[in-house]
């Protein structure tokens, strides 16, 4: 099969992803083989490209969002059949979806939404799982009609779907940081109740819209820059969820307010074999919300063709930090 991969970790300036001819993936008992129709590009892709080299002569094939058609099933698969249209996010330890076919554990996929195409569906899995596990699965947050949630970085892929899931599944008011005209317009279209400028003092920005404190903050990028402000704006016994990777993250200032902190990595379940089936269940619920018109795709760019040029262009956009929504590559 054709795939796009590389041998040595490298920067985008020294881009080394190339076209390869690789054997068809071998299936484990609970795997399905998916003929890839579309995949999206995520920040994890370039982070792995920068840090991971191939091993034992095997190249690295990136890509952990996929939508496609099942062409074969493992001996232990009961839930799916050949011909099913599915979507999902894979496993960091296995080859990804920058290929014609990908083997993926059947427990972490679901039937794709019926009302959108493969490219639109491919924009959703990784970010939906991330936002759901961070903000919806955490029952201790107890978000209700009196709650306020602040999303730092609302225009990105995770922020875009988090807004929609919070508005669809809770009664909380959602406040989002954004500054550029296009990003402000985008987060409002996703359903944000309020938009504040991340370049300004968050406490003052919240006061201007009549909000003294928030019940929870979802940090999607540069969370460490806001630490001193977060200790003032999160209510006592409130919550901070984050997905980024600060080099240093000193939360001693949170003690006075008994603020809880948790990280979210949607690959944790596949890395440790922990409750894998819950990811398929979440994606089934997301598909239902899409088909009911309560959630829409976050795809903003559709690249036609899985070419080296398109992959490089997508990585450059992501690394620039200026992207809105999701970039999808359609085969």
pLDDT at position 184: 95
92 and 119 housed in the same domain: yes
302 and 257 housed in the same domain: no
Give which of 60, 61, 65, 62 is closest to 40, Cα–Cα: 65
Could you tell me if residue 151 is inside a domain?
yes
229 and 317 housed in the same domain: no
Cβ 221 vs Cβ 152: under 8 Å: yes
115 and 76 housed in the same domain: yes
As for how many domains the chain has, the answer is 2
Could you tell me if residue 271 is inside a domain?
no
Could you tell me if residue 269 is inside a domain?
no
109 and 139 housed in the same domain: no
Give which of 326, 321, 320, 330 is closest to 130, Cα–Cα: 326
318 and 215 housed in the same domain: no
Query: How sure is the predictor about 85, in pLDDT bands with cuts at 50, 70 and 90?
Result: very high
- Could you tell me the residue range of the domain that residue 108 belongs to? 2-124+276-330
Could you tell me if residue 115 is inside a domain?
yes
Average pLDDT rounded to a whole number, residues 1-12 = 97
Range 28-31, long-range pairs (CB < 8 A, 24+ positions): 28/74, 28/103, 28/105, 29/74, 29/75, 29/76, 29/77, 30/74, 30/76, 30/77, 30/105, 30/106, 30/107, 31/73, 31/74, 31/77, 31/103, 31/104, 31/105, 31/106
pLDDT at residue 66 tops 90: yes
pLDDT at position 247: 87
253 and 213 housed in the same domain: yes
pLDDT at position 199: 86
- 171: tokens are 């009664």
Q: Give residue-wise pLDDT tens across range 203-243.
A: 999 999 999 999 999 999 999 999 989 999 999 999 999 99
CATH code for the domain in which residue 302 is found:
3.90.180.10
Could you tell me if residue 270 is inside a domain?
no
pLDDT at position 216: 98
Q: Give residue-wise pLDDT tens across range 241-277.
A: 999 999 889 999 999 999 999 999 999 999 999 999 9
pLDDT at residue 190 tops 90: yes
Could you tell me if residue 268 is inside a domain?
no
pLDDT at residue 179 tops 90: no
- 237: tokens are 């016994």
Average pLDDT, the chain: 96
d(CA 153, CA 159): 6
Q: What percent of the chain has pLDDT over 90?
A: 93
Q: What percent of the chain has pLDDT over 70?
A: 100
8 and 81 housed in the same domain: yes
26 and 108 housed in the same domain: yes
137 and 219 housed in the same domain: yes
CATH code for the domain in which residue 193 is found:
3.40.50.720
239 and 116 housed in the same domain: no
Q: Give residue-wise pLDDT tens across range 281-307.
A: 999 999 999 999 999 999 999 999 999
54 and 151 housed in the same domain: no
Query: How sure is the predictor about 132, in pLDDT bands with cuts at 50, 70 and 90?
Result: very high
pLDDT at position 15: 97
- For residue 263, report the phi and psi dihedrals to the nearest 5 degrees: -90, 155
pLDDT at position 321: 84
Could you tell me if residue 257 is inside a domain?
yes
pLDDT at position 326: 97
Show the 3-state SS of 104-161.
EEHHHEEECCCCCCHHHHHCCHHHHHHHHHHHHCCHHHCCCCCCEEEEECCCCHHHHH
């Amino acid at each position: 099969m054709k795939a796009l991969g590389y041998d040595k970790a490298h920067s985008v300036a020294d881009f080394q992803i190339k076209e390869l001819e690789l054997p068809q993936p071998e299936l484990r008992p609970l795997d399905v083989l998916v003929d890839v129709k579309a995949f999206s590009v995520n920040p994890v892709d370039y982070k792995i490209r920068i840090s991971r080299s191939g091993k034992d002569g095997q190249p690295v094939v990136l890509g952990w969002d996929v939508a496609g058609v099942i062409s074969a099933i493992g001996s232990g698969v009961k839930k799916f059949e050949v011909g099913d249209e599915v979507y999902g996010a894979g496993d960091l330890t296995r080859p990804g979806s920058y290929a014609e076919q990908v083997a993926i554990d059947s427990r972490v996929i679901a039937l794709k939404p019926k009302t959108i195409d493969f490219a639109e569906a491919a924009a959703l899995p990784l970010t939906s799982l991330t936002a759901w596990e961070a903000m919806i699965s955490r029952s201790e947050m107890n978000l209700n009609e009196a709650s306020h949630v602040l999303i730092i970085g609302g225009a990105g892929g995770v922020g875009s779907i988090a807004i929609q899931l919070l508005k669809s599944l809770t009664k909380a008011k959602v406040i989002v940081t954004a500054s550029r005209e296009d990003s402000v317009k985008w987060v409002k279209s996703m359903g944000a109740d309020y938009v504040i400028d991340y370049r300004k003092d968050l406490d003052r920005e919240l006061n201007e819209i009549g909000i003294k404190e928030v019940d929870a903050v979802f940090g999607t990028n540069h969370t460490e820059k806001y630490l001193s402000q977060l200790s003032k704006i999160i209510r006592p016994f409130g919550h901070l969820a984050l997905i980024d990777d600060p080099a240093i993250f000193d939360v001693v200032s949170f003690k006075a307010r008994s603020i809880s902190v948790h990280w979210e990595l949607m690959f944790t379940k596949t890395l440790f074999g922990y409750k894998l089936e819950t990811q398929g269940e979440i994606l089934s619920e997301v598909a239902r919300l899409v088909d009911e018109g309560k959630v829409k795709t976050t795809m903003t760019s559709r690249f036609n063709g899985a070419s080296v040029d398109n992959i490089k262009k997508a990585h450059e956009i992501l690394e620039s930090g200026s992207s809105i929504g999701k970039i999808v590559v359609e085969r």
